[in-house]
Amino acid sequence: MSPHRLAAGVLLPGFHGTTAPDWLLARLADGLGGVVYFGRNVVDDAQVTALSAQLRAVRADVVIGIDEEGGDVTRLDYGRGSEVPGNHALGAAGDPDLTRAVAASVGARLAACGVSLNLAPSADLVLTLDDPVIGVRSFGSDPMAAGVHVAAYVEGMQAVGVAACAKHFPGHGASTVDSHAALPVLPRTVAELAAVEFVPFRSAVAAGVRSIMTGHLVVPEWGAEPATLNPVAVRVLREQLGFTGAIVTDGLDMKAVGGDLAAGAVRSLVAGADALCLGGEPLDDAGLQWLIDSIVAAVESGTLPLERLAEAARRTAALGVPPARVEAHDASLGSEAARRAVEVRGTLALSGPPVVLDLEVEASIAVGDVPWGLGPYLTELIPGTTVVSARTADEVAAVAAGRTVVVVTREAHRFPFTRDLVSSLAKIGLDLVHVETGVPGPDLGTVARVDTHGGSRVCLRAAAERIAASQRLEQGNQ
């Protein structure tokens, strides 16, 4: 196989549109490895199925990838919120069999849509409440417990024929920097990583995970290069963890790798990566040609051995095998899992229709602009509910006029405005219910707190159901 075709075979770009542009189809015919779908490519399942069929009509073994983590990170349900809870909710539910079943259900849906690779699950741990990018994408903070759920997720996903991808090795959970925006340096020794962060990845390998994504994360003992570009990270995966599948890069357009896409592509291949995710910014035909030419030039100069490129192309191609059969997916599982994840602290007892204040904050790039908020669900379940957009404690108190206030946050502890407003509302003596949709932080003095462990559609609905049930219970006791 020619160096040009091998170079094309390791690339997984994004693109614009809900149908494939002609240049992309031509590139697939010339050996392009595959694509990664984003929210901009999705209308509904039927459209995605048709898009995948369009791609596979050109080449049956094209890699079709997607970030369908469930919960806060969804592509298939980008316009309305995921029908399943994310990892943190599944971890809170504490049932690996449920995690396996949810993953199999998501996988069955992806298989029906023609997807061969799901860039999930996140095998990262919650090791600091200041992490801006992982949060509820993680199964939790306990390495062993998280590892059990990671393995269950991998098993469920791959049982229906869709390759799973454990990410972001060596583990993003101790970082306080979003690698979409800058380069995180992990405050961890290699010994600490091996004892803690590596544990869920070892579980993924033991479960037979077909791919692992390296993160743009610097481990000081490994040198100044992030894991994506660092041969030491690859050696650890191959030699210490025993991983033999495809190593997938995180998006090479991210600020953490310096913004030079071609240089990042070559350096990651030299380091030992296989499939190159080119990131959320879509490329055009000229951009792909530039990358292919850069990789070929590296081969011709001796920087990148041809054998290394051929190995990477072979491992990438293995991720393009379409599922042999398509199972029916169980949409009800997500609601069940979300309900089991809800935790209530304090006394939750509504005496009448509440006032709802959704304190939305800007989501991370990984999450994107997915619908969020409890107001619509409580309005549906409790007639007379009032949704307000007040920004001060006095404004909220004036509207409440003695009614229960339900204030909804996403990791209130990370955002001074939301943290301070919730605390102020509690201090003025309102009957206040705090619904936290992110990783739970410190108590802010409210009468009750409802932790959903995620902000997906089903998590918000489950919280609304629990709150509505407390009103019925209170009325029954009167």
Secondary structure letter of residue 122 according to DSSP: B
Dist. CA 1–CA 3, nearest whole Å: 7
Q: What is the pLDDT of residue 472?
A: 56
Question: Coil, strand, or helix at residue 165?
Answer: strand
Q: What is the pLDDT of residue 367?
A: 66
Average pLDDT, the chain: 93
Q: In Å, what is the CA distance from 106 to each residue of 99, 281, 298, 326, 455?
A: 11, 25, 39, 12, 17
Confidence check: pLDDT of 362 > 80: no
Q: At 438, phi and psi to the nearest 5?
A: -105, -160
Q: Quick count: other Cβ atoms within 10 Å of Cβ 331?
A: 12
pTM recorded for the entire structure: 0.95
Mean pLDDT of 327-356: 91
Q: Encoding tokens for residue 292? A: 């292919």
What residues have CB less than 8 Å from 282, skipping those under 6 apart?
13, 14, 15, 16, 40
Residues comprising the chain, all counted:
478
DSSP codes joined into one string, 2-62: -HHHHHHHTEE---SSSS--HHHHHHHHTT--EEEE-GGG-S-HHHHHHHHHHHHHH-TT-
Dist. CA 356–CA 379, nearest whole Å: 9
Selected catalytic residue, list 124, 178, 250, 253: 250
Dist. CA 70–CA 137, nearest whole Å: 9
Dist. CA 171–CA 456, nearest whole Å: 24
Among 15-24, 150-159, 272-281, 433-442, name the one with the lowest average pLDDT.
Answer: 272-281
With residues binned 3-state (H G I as helix, E B as strand, rest as coil), the percentages for the chain, rounded to 5, are: 45, 10, 45
Q: Rounded to a whole number, what is the distance in angstroms from the first to the last CA of the chain?
A: 78
Q: Binning pLDDT at 50, 70 and 90, where does residue 37 land? A: very high
Q: Using a pLDDT cut of 90, give the percent of the chain over it.
A: 84
Q: Which helix (H) or strand (E) holds 472?
A: helix 457-477
Locate all alpha helices (DSSP H) within 278-369, ordered by sequence. 285-301, 306-317, 332-341
Selected catalytic residue, list 168, 172, 180, 413: 180
Confidence check: pLDDT of 176 > 80: yes
pLDDT tens for 400-445 read 988 999 999 999 999 999 999 999 999 998 899 999 999 999 999 9
Question: Coil, strand, or helix at residue 166?
Answer: strand
CA 275-218-249 angle, 5° bins: 10
Q: Binning pLDDT at 50, 70 and 90, where does residue 368 land? A: low
Question: Coil, strand, or helix at residue 185?
Answer: strand
Confidence check: pLDDT of 392 > 80: yes
Mean pLDDT of 298-304: 98
Dist. CA 452–CA 84, nearest whole Å: 12
Q: Encoding tokens for residue 426? A: 């509690």
- Whether 15 and 39 have beta carbons less than 8 Å apart is answered as no
Nearest in space to 41 (alpha carbons), one of 70, 21, 57: 21
pLDDT tens for 42-83 read 999 999 999 999 999 999 999 999 999 999 999 999 988 999
Q: What is the pLDDT of residue 258?
A: 66
Dist. CA 384–CA 353, nearest whole Å: 5
Dist. CA 41–CA 113, nearest whole Å: 13
- Whether 98 and 144 have beta carbons less than 8 Å apart is answered as no
Mean pLDDT of 193-212: 99
Q: Encoding tokens for residue 119? A: 């860039």
Nearest in space to 43 (alpha carbons), one of 70, 73, 80, 86: 80
Q: Structural domains in the chain?
A: 3-320 (3.20.20.300), 342-477 (3.40.50.10490)
CA pseudo-torsion sign 380, 381, 382, 383: positive
Among 173-182, 225-234, 415-424, 426-435, name the one with the lowest average pLDDT.
Answer: 173-182
Q: Binning pLDDT at 50, 70 and 90, where does residue 182 land? A: confident
pLDDT tens for 103-143 read 999 999 999 999 999 999 999 999 999 998 899 999 999 99
Dist. CA 140–CA 131, nearest whole Å: 13
Does the active-site annotation cover 180?
yes
